[in-house]
Structure 1
Amino acid sequence: MSNKPRTGLAVAGLSLGTALNPLNSSMIAVALVVLRADFGLDVATVTWVITSFYLASAAGQPLMGRLADRFGPRRMFMLGMGTVAVTCALAPFSPNFALLCVDRAVMALGTATAYPSAVVMIGAIAQRAGTESSRPLGRIQMANTSAAAVGPVAGGLLVGQVGWEALFLVNVPLALAALFIVRKVAPADGVRERGSLAQLVKDSDIPGIAGFVGSLLLVMMALLDVAPGYRWWMLGAGTAIAALFVWRELRFNPPFLDLRLLGRNRPLMLVYLGFAVFSSVYYFVFFGLPQLLQEAGGYDPALVGLLMLPLAATSVLATPWAVRAMGKFGVRRVLIAGVVLLTLVAALMWLLTGSLAIPLVLALTTLMGIPYGTVGIATNQGMFLSVRPQERGVAAGIYQTCRYVGAITATVLIGVFAGGGVDQASWGLMVIAMLVLSAVAFGVTLLWRQRAA
């Protein structure tokens, strides 16, 4: 098989594997009512099937990236896909809801291996194909965006025809297909760390990993208010553990996260900050607009889903354009253009305070997809260029966690601005917040420069 078909097939396998995380985070939303009925749950309890996946994904991405850097991305990708296949084959037989949530968390950890591992492998794949890394990265982003968009539609069909069990079972052939494709055509792992198991464990900085995961989980759970009455206790404990984590990482060699290196890598830190702020603006629209259309506009949920589809469609179409533009104008100019467009679209969202007419909504969701696709691939490429090859796994994992930070920020702020429900008055406040965040993202983007080789 020539290099070109092998490269295309390898990227297809990686895209399929990375798409499982956004696919499963969006499919499950349509199954909540059925799960409540089957397990006899209340509304607050059933949301743990989403929260468990969300928390495990956010905490697992950097960890799986670090393991991919140490022990090989191809190996970790296949291990993750195997974990997904086995977990999803067993999940439909869970005897209670608690175990089902555990299955969802384990599945999330399996899918969390895919993106960081794919980013590490992209360098070798692009070099083998003689192309820019932005092209395969763009195809992976398109697959992820498409998966998130079709998730509710596919989930609705599966639940309606088969039941909630199908949401798990459908992952088995998909994960196995990704596993076998990557095993067959992806570049083999280079020489990685070797030694006795005891030495590998000793060098793995287990307390550092535990501190990172523990502090992140506690802070995220506090922000999401998953345990009412304990929010401030969890926030305080998470902050204290984070301080201990920083203290240890600055003294341990080799650390789980090289904080000194991150501190010196200004381009990478600016990518993380800019992407987190950008994501918060995007998720204001992604989470807030459907609520506005249903609560203030009185639109049926099925119609709202259709009105949101152009956002994903145009982001997919914008990605290859952005890839070509980066090749011609550079990453920074494309990134600046994307953030400027984001600011303009955020300002246009003010029009919804006066009218919720379907043509206007369609126009705005269509426009919002363009900066999402553009900034998404540009920050992705900026992250890729800002780190050494041996650090790309953990860097990609932290990058994905920044997406979750942005999503949680938007969720919390929506709750602040619209505690009694999303109406056109509260939407106006959200638009102001989006404009402030867009200005911050613009300032961060102006400061970013590609790291010198």
Structure 2
Amino acid sequence: MSSEGVDAARRRVGLTVAALCLGTTLNPLNSSMIAVALLSLQHDFDLTTPQVTWVITLFYIASTVGQPLMGRVIDALGARRVFVAGMAVVVVAGVIAPLGGFALVLVSRGILALGTSVAFPAAVALVGPLARAGGMSPPRLLARIQIANTTAAALGPVVGGLLIAVAGWPAIFLVNVPLGIAGLISVWILAPRDNPREAVTGRALVRVLDPAGVLSFAIAAVALLVVLLDAGGDATWLLVAVGVVALGLFVWRELRARAPFIDVRMLAANRALTLSYLGFTVFSALYYLAFFGLPQFLEAHAGYSTAIVGLLMLPLSGMTIAIAPVVARAIDKRGLVPVLITMAIVLLVSAGLLGIGVATTNPVWMLLMAAVMGIPYCMGSLVMTEAVRRAAPPDAVGVASGLLQSTRYLGAIAATVMLGQLLAGGVDAAAWGGVVIAAVATGVVHLAVSLFQAAALRRAQH
């Protein structure tokens, strides 16, 4: 191919990745924008605090179930086709939220979670073909997606606040309409066409999607997540029983299914993939201990305003954006395993540095803490996504990357539960010391898992 042809191919790949990034930002954007809408929703619909927080809880639950489900659909029907359909669902969800009461808002949030859950596994599934088409490095394409997602999560509260100031809470739903349409059209035009597949019929969907496996997984996940989120009330033990039974039925079904939703045997045999999931769950628990806990500590103990806390947390996202290309190049040059081990060590060090808050809440030190935590976050997200992409069977990259995102939510929920216990008696320096001890202990566990994961990845490469 001539140099002009190579340049043209790379430009098209760049535009396609940008279009995919637009779609992948919608999940973190909607996840973080809602934080600044809670008071408006509570006032307009006369809700209690536990009632209004269901807009967050429902999104977490639907995303946790939806990521692997949409990944399975992508593997069966094609990434481009399903991405476009997901963006259409996002548009519908954005339109319906302002049309009724709070129940319709919750329905919209659930639909948004499912629609936006399409984007990340579809993007990961397309990274390989796009990298080959442009003669480019898959980690560098993943770095662009990581930068877009991190930026969206960081800017979500800012964007949400501006939208609500201008047009009220419905604006944070309606903004999904133009963004969804833009993602739909651009990916439809730019993304490589899916390989020929069987016609999309009801019978074909039943055959490839394993409805019994999907249903049992969804029941188990929803029941157990509601318990973990402490939203079960008097029905907590009943939900535990339902979740455990459904989980047992899920494993039983998947061991016998011809086309399982999640191949349990494959996970048991593929140590590199299973350890990647375990590692990312522990990694996310540590990260969200800091991400959720530090703002509470700075507001309640140090007396910083919400606006100042937001500024003090910005280096976390800023560092992620700055070093993502560096991490991608390091994976290319040094290999995945050395970067994985380096990330685990840096994560443990950053957990220890959270202890600075016990001694001082000086803004300079808080900025430093946030910046240091941003380094392993960027490294971990890129390393784990690339590890899963490499370890997953070629026909299961979608569901594998979807499961990876589910483990992120599981880690976030675990961090929420730990913070609830550690800060229950009040938020002061002593309580923060407990958070630091929990973070360091989690970092040690993560380092141990990473060493086993590194060994499994080395074996898988030979």
Instruction: Give the shorter-chain TM-score range.
Output: over 0.9
- Secondary structure at the aligned position of 1:116 is classed as helix
Gaps of 5+ in 1: none
What do the CA deviations read for 1:187-244 (whole angstroms, capped 9, x no partner)? 1000224486335424432111000111011111100011322222212210111011
For residue 140 of structure 1, the aligned residue among 123, 138, 145 is: 145
* Cα contact 2:207–2:259 (8 A) shared by 1: no
1:184 to 2:189 alignment: yes
Once the two structures are superposed, residues 356-409 of structure 1 have per-residue CA deviations (whole angstroms, 9 ceiling, x without a partner) of 111111110011101111111011111111112211000001000000010011
Aligned match for 1:8, one of 5, 11, 14: 14
State whether structure 2 residue 330 is matched by structure 1 residue 330: no
- Residue 90 in 1 paired to residue 107 in 2? no
Contact 2:198 2:204 in 1 (8 A): no
Q: Name which of structure 1's ranges 22-31 and 130-139 shifts more when overlaid on structure 2.
A: 130-139
Structure 1, residues 57-76: CA drift from partner, whole Å, max 9, x if none? 11100000000000111011
1:65 aligns to what?
71
CA distance 1:120–1:221, shift in 2 (3 Å): same
CA distance in 1, matches of 2:241, 2:430: 34
Matches within 5 A, 1:99-138: 99-138=104-143
Distance 1:199 1:107 in 2: 25
- 5 Å-filtered alignment, 1:296-335, equals 296-335=301-340
Q: Percent identity?
A: 45
Report what 2:350 is aligned to. Answer: 345
Structure 2 residue 366 is matched with structure 1 residue 361: yes
* Alpha-carbon distance in structure 2 between the residues aligned to 1:230 and 1:145: 36
**Could you tell me how far apart the structure 2 residues matched to 1:289 and 1:452 are?**
39
Amino acid at match of 2:305: D
The one-letter code matched in structure 2 to 1:372 is: Y
For 1:268 and 1:423, the matched residues in 2 are separated by: 40
CA-based RMSD of the aligned residues comes to 1.3
Q: CA deviation at 1:123?
A: 1.1
Is the contact made by 1:52 and 1:102 (CA closer than 8 Å) also made in structure 2?
no
Q: d(CA) in 2 for partners of 1:120 and 1:293?
A: 40
Q: CA deviation at 1:351?
A: 1.4
Q: Does 1:44 align with 2:53?
A: no
Matches within 5 A, 1:9-408: 9-93=15-99, 95-194=100-199, 197-408=202-413
Name the TM-score, length of structure 1 as normaliser: 0.98
Contact between 2:96 and 2:104, CA under 8 Å: does it hold in 1?
Answer: no
Structure 2 distance, partners of 1:367, 1:209, is: 39
Match of 1:452 in 2: 461
Paired residues in the alignment total: 452
> In structure 1, how many angstroms separate the alpha carbons of the residues matched to 2:276 and 2:240?
26
Letter in 2 for 1:208: G
CA-CA distance at 1:161 after TM superposition: 1.5
Report Cα offsets for 1:43-100 as digits up to 9, x if no partner.
Answer: 110001111111111110000000000011101100000110122022122x210111
Q: Distance in 1 between matches of 2:324 and 2:236?
A: 39
CA-CA distance at 1:108 after TM superposition:
0.8
Q: Which AA in structure 1 matches 2:17?
A: V
Deviation string, structure 1 residues 310-368 (Cα, Å, up to 9, x no partner):
10010111211100111111111111111111111111111111211111111100111
Assess if the C-alpha contact under 8 Å between 2:77 and 2:200 holds in 1. no
